[in-house]
């Protein structure tokens, strides 16, 4: 039974935002790069056992200009941060960032001067994935949650304002290394 048999009189009403969201979420292409051990799990997700290809995203792009999803897989060193930001800037809009693992999200166990205490200090993050390392199943779950987010995203100027606001909040956030109290 096809979709048309389930619709009354074969008519389907929707909004442009919904259609665009559906198309965008169904063709996410991640950029090819990994930073540390989390990247091994990310690579496993693309293999035959987990098969990210089921979601239309088996093609990890070698050029950021052809990618719209940045999976930050692993800790980000201070030295790597500007490079990561450059890759992000080279990706065409609209684009999304998935922070994979505790190191990328908050610096993790590396609470020191060499590691960025959360990649949201460098790029706006759309979804955080906990774990050390997160298993491929967890990565796929995060991607499916991101799909849901993309499906309901706003369009045009509204989306740009949303991204800018998130970026400003992240840039003014206190780094974990500067926090006092129970962390130390």
Residues that bind ligand SF4 (CB under 6 A): 36-38, 74-75, 101-103, 108, 132-133
Q: How far is the CB of 163 from ligand SF4 (least distance, A)?
A: 25
Q: Nearer Cβ to ligand SF4, position 132 or 173?
A: 132
Q: How far is the CB of 46 from ligand SF4 (least distance, A)?
A: 17
Q: Nearer Cβ to ligand SF4, position 91 or 105?
A: 105
Q: Nearer Cβ to ligand SF4, position 46 or 133?
A: 133
Q: Nearer Cβ to ligand SF4, position 21 or 101?
A: 101
Q: How many CB atoms lie within 10 A of CB 54?
A: 9
Q: How far is the CB of 74 from ligand SF4 (least distance, A)?
A: 4
DSSP 8-state code for residue 176: G
d(CA 60, CA 69): 9
d(CA 1, CA 3): 7
Q: How far is the CB of 137 from ligand SF4 (least distance, A)?
A: 15
Buried b (16+ CB within 10 A) or exposed e, 13-34: eeeebeebbeebbeebbbbbbb
d(CA 68, CA 92): 7
Nearest residue to 101 via CA among 39, 30, 44, 38: 38
């Amino acid at each position: 039974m096809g979709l048309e048999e389930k619709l009354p009189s074969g008519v389907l009403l929707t909004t442009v935002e919904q259609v665009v969201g559906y198309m965008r979420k169904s063709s996410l292409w991640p950029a090819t790069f990994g930073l540390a051990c989390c990247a091994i799990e990310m690579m496993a997700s693309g293999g035959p056992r987990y098969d990210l290809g089921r979601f239309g995203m088996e093609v990890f792009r070698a050029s950021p200009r052809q990618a719209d999803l940045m999976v930050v897989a692993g800790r980000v060193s201070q030295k790597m941060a500007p490079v990561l930001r450059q890759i992000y800037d080279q990706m065409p809009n609209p684009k999304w960032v998935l922070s994979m693992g505790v190191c990328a999200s908050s610096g993790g166990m590396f609470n020191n001067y060499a590691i960025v205490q959360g990649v949201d200090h460098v790029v706006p993050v759309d979804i955080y994935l906990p774990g050390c390392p997160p298993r491929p199943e967890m990565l796929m779950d995060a991607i499916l949650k991101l799909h849901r987010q993309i499906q309901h995203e706003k369009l045009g100027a509204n989306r740009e304002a949303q991204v800018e606001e998130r970026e400003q909040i992240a840039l003014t956030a206190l780094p974990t290394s500067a926090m006092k109290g129970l962390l130390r």
